[in-house]
Amino acid sequence: MMVKAFASSADLTEKTATLEVLADGVYALTAEGDPNVGAVEGEDFLVAFEARATPAAAHDWLSLLRQHTDKPVKYLVLSHYHAVRVLGAAAFDAEVIIAHDNTRRLIAERGEQDWASEFGRMPRLFKQPETIPGLTWPDVVFSDRVSIDLGGDRGELTLQHCGRGHTAGDIVAWLPQQRIMFAGDLVEAQAALYTGDAFHREWSTTTLDRVKAFGAETLIGGRGGVTCGRTAVNQAIEQTRSFLNTMLDEVGAVHARSGTLREAFEATHKALAPQFGAWPIFEHCLPFDVSRVWDELDGIDWPRIWTAERDREVWDELQGE
């Protein structure tokens, strides 16, 4: 049996980033399964969605965006607290950084550990890590919904918390006029789910129901390509739900018969691999995902903190020989 390299530590091939103009003043940057980012133009300002892992990585995105607009970034929206989404914030020089209040809580509680954990798991995403000035702190937090008036006839951008899901503090960004949604890691298109900090039962039911109820015509998930058309958007949402439900079923069955975590991992891997095995970060995520489902079934509501050490322990227990 081949020994699997830890998480994505052996994934060193640079991905091609593609900037797409989804509507007048609405931009998405996708990168073959690496984390997506976006931006929306107001009359005289920009709203950026997600910050990438380092200021150097964010700068690469901003230089592509600057071929289309030179408006200043007034708002930087963080969909959730994960290091690869927030630590590049300094590059945007944003007036206001906005996030959910649970995101601020998670940064305070585990931002340092998450930084070390994600750096170890996905070193390639941390381009010039020395450019990170420290943790990213939101200036404004909210618990349910806020709207940003984009000015002129551009309509508004709504930031909405749909319940707990990928983390306790995910938010989506919604353009009602263009029916475009930036869903963060709540929905993935053609990429495996990371659920190590998730609330699987809530995410797979009420949270995804609320995401779906927007009726988006275009959806940018956390990773993978842009999804276009209502049917394809609903398929991406249902595929995400099916990934979660399969994990809950498989881990649940082993948990119910008092089996081991390793057995739960093997059963889940077997069930998911035919459909999802070739997708980006599948092998990387699954041990952490199964571990968190197991905890949730044990009644641990608030996810345990991932540290670089705990990452290795769980990896060796589940992906080791």
Task: Give backbone dihedrals phi and psi of 100, rounded to 5 degrees, phi first.
Answer: -75, 155
- Taking CB under 5 A as the binding criterion, the range among 2-10, 70-78, 142-150, 184-192 that sits at the site for Zn ion is 184-192
Which CB atom, from 82 or from 164, has the smaller least distance to Zn ion?
82
Closest C-alpha among 107, 69, 63, 108 to residue 85: 107
Which CB atom, from 41 or from 185, has the smaller least distance to Zn ion?
185
Q: How many angstroms separate the Cα of 225 from the Cα of each of 15, 40, 222?
A: 13, 18, 9
Token readout for 20 is 């797409």
Residue 185 sits in the site that holds Zn ion (CB under 5 A)? yes
Shortest reach from residue 82's CB to Zn ion, in Å:
4
Residue 50 sits in the site that holds Zn ion (CB under 5 A)? no
Which CB atom, from 41 or from 311, has the smaller least distance to Zn ion?
311
Residue 121 sits in the site that holds Zn ion (CB under 5 A)? no
Shortest reach from residue 194's CB to Zn ion, in Å:
6
Exposed (0-12), middle (13-18) or buried (19+): which is 66, by Cβ within 10 Å?
exposed
Shortest reach from residue 289's CB to Zn ion, in Å:
12
Which CB atom, from 42 or from 222, has the smaller least distance to Zn ion?
222
Residue 270: its H or E element? helix 261-276
Token readout for 1 is 């049996």
First to last CA, the chain: 8
Shortest reach from residue 299's CB to Zn ion, in Å:
24
Q: How many angstroms separate the Cα of 156 from the Cα of each of 62, 179, 250?
A: 22, 11, 42
- Taking CB under 5 A as the binding criterion, the range among 107-115, 135-143, 177-185, 212-220 that sits at the site for Zn ion is 177-185
Any bridge partners for residue 148, and if so which?
A: 157
Q: What angle do CA 228, 188, 11 make, to 5 degrees?
A: 120
Which residues ranging from 91 to 120 are in contact with Zn ion (CB under 5 A)? none
Which CB atom, from 42 or from 303, has the smaller least distance to Zn ion?
303
User: What gap in Å lies between CA 316 and CA 185, rounded to an integer?
Assistant: 26
Shortest reach from residue 166's CB to Zn ion, in Å:
6
Residue 223 sits in the site that holds Zn ion (CB under 5 A)? no
User: What gap in Å lies between CA 48 and CA 74, rounded to an integer?
Assistant: 8
Residue 82 sits in the site that holds Zn ion (CB under 5 A)? yes
Which CB atom, from 255 or from 292, has the smaller least distance to Zn ion?
292
Shortest reach from residue 187's CB to Zn ion, in Å:
12
Residues near Zn ion (CB under 5 A), total = 2
Which CB atom, from 198 or from 267, has the smaller least distance to Zn ion?
198
Task: Give backbone dihedrals phi and psi of 169, rounded to 5 degrees, phi first.
Answer: -130, 35
- Here's the x/- map for Zn ion, 135-174, by CB under 5 A: it reads as ----------------------------------------
Read off the amino acid at residue 70: D
Shortest reach from residue 26's CB to Zn ion, in Å:
22
Residue 306 is given by DSSP the state P
Which CB atom, from 41 or from 197, has the smaller least distance to Zn ion?
197
Residues making contact with Zn ion (CB under 5 A): 82, 185
